A and B are shown apart, each in its own frame.
Chain A
Amino acid sequence: MEITTKEFKHCVMLNLNGRVDSFTAPQFSKAMDKINEAGTYKIVVNMSGLEYMSSAGFRALLATQRNCKRYNRGEVVLAMVPARIHEALELAGFTELFRTFDDALAAVGQF
């Protein structure tokens, strides 16, 4: 798993690449916590380079979504979600908790 972040005026884009599982999810959590600690609660998780995500990654997303939406201060949105990962998110009932965008820059622009 590899993570890079890019700051925009109103949000941060987190590019999530590779595989997220129980081994790597803590690192993913930490990266999102770091964005929150810096005072940004609007996050675009760009999944265009993501190959795999287990429920450990879903749980990390859920915890951050709760933190971001508190006091209406922000939101986590997902961009360019690969089909297999989208199917798994749907199975887990997560597609109702996250808005998804086909285009990463459109996701940035709506904030």
Chain B
Amino acid sequence: MRTVIYPAKFEFLDEIRDFVAEVARDGGFDDKEIYSVQLAADEAASNIIEHAYEGIADGQIELTCEVRGAELIISMQDHGKSFDSKKVKKPNLKVGLSERQIGGLGIYLIRKLRDEVKYRSSGTGNLLTMIKRKG
């Protein structure tokens, strides 16, 4: 299990993606799976920065990665505002250009790219756990 603490700033997304890719690669995940792991981690971290830490400049994201058998478990702990992703409406992908929603896309992608997504909010912040299975 490896844990790294990142400043909750968009300029660290590159490092966050590199870190999860390295753990996934060491765990034997293929290139396609690694890309989807990077994308899900990026979307999750972007949401934390944008929503949980909205208006907060010095937030942190505690990122933990672990490969357990065929599973890659990524968790992100923040100390920002409670943010329940379940309340974000699924974007309607059937509607045309003019009605297409701009928001909610990140969470939708996380749900699509992961095999399991768990979310826990407490008084001290949020813990998001995403599981990706190999193959």
Contacts and interface: CB of A to CB of B under 8 A. Distances in A.
Interface of A: 19, 21-23, 52, 54-56, 58-59, 62-63, 65-66, 69, 84, 87-88, 91-93, 97
B42 A21 contact: yes
Contact of A21 (B14, B100, B113): B14
B32 interface: yes
B106 A55 contact: yes
Q: Chain A interface secondary structure, helix, strand, loop or mixed?
A: helix
Contacts of B43: 54-55
Give the contact-size bracket for chain B.
Answer: 20 to 34
A23 B106 CA distance: 15
Contacts of A56: 46
Contact of B17 (A52, A63, A91, A97): A52
Nearest to B42: A54
Q: Which 9 A-B pairs have the closest CB atoms?
A: A93-B93, A23-B10, A55-B105, A22-B46, A84-B35, A22-B10, A55-B106, A21-B13, A54-B42
Contacts of A93: 91, 93-94
A62 B102 contact: yes
